[in-house]
Chain A
Amino acid sequence: MTKRELAAKAQAEFPGYRADDIAFAVYRVFDAMKEALMRGERIEIRDFGVFQVKTRRARRARNPKTAALLDLPERRTPFFKVGKDLKERLAGRGNV
């Protein structure tokens, strides 16, 4: 499912509204989350999961294709941790 298909599903659930308005609201959800991450904020979506920005420290690495050394500067990476409910729902009824 793509973002567009997600918007289409949402539109089907809100038939009395302008399709464009619903699509913009769906897109806005992800833009708002992106902006929060850019501010370094943690995002907690109940029953879904947590998005967080972690800082990777600078390190020296190799380009695996050319074997050339390169310096990777310190950088921020988004992380997602699946919520417990969703994790269990996906895993099925197992142990752990």
Chain B
Amino acid sequence: MTKIDIIQDVYEKLGFSKKDSARIVESVFEIMKECLGRGEKIKISGFGNFVVKEKKSRRGRNPQTGKEIEISARRVLTFKSSQVLRKALNG
């Protein structure tokens, strides 16, 4: 599934035009990216939570060369799936 399939789904099920469906679906992901960019978490009930975590800088190794390098402090995005979704996948 790609964004095109989601747009098609919204178009078929909700009666928006193709163009409007595309604009709405695009805006959903844009809003989410902006939110995450601010470091804010997103909780989608029934689906899962997207959480931005702060990582301190640390020393690591290039696994190919074995050379020690400094890994800079960064923010990473984690996804924790909802229990509802996990149940749906297993039931």
Contacts and interface: CB of A to CB of B under 8 A. Distances in A.
Contacts of A49: 77, 79
Contacts of B42: 1-2, 6
Given A76-B89, A78-B89, A29 B1 contact: no
Given A38-B89, A76-B89, A10 B41 contact: no
A32 B6 contact: yes
A2 B37 CA distance: 16
Given A37-B85, A45-B2, A30 B44 contact: yes
Contact of A43 (B2, B31, B76): B2
Given A44-B1, A46-B2, A78 B32 contact: no
B74 A6 contact: no
A30 B45 CA distance: 9
Interface residues of B, number: 51
Contacts, number: 143
Interface string A77-95: 1111010001101111011
Interface residues of A, number: 49
A49 B33 CA distance: 11
Contacts of A28: 9-10, 13-14
Interface in B65-91: 69-77, 79, 81, 85-86, 88-90
Interface of B: 1-3, 5-6, 9-10, 13-14, 16, 20-21, 23-25, 27-29, 31-33, 35-37, 40-48, 50, 52, 69-77, 79, 81, 85-86, 88-90
The 4 closest A-B pairs by CB, nearest first: A80-B79, A94-B72, A91-B74, A36-B1
Interface of A: 1-3, 6, 9-10, 13-14, 17, 21-22, 24-26, 28-30, 32-34, 36-38, 41-49, 53, 75-80, 82, 86-87, 89-92, 94-96
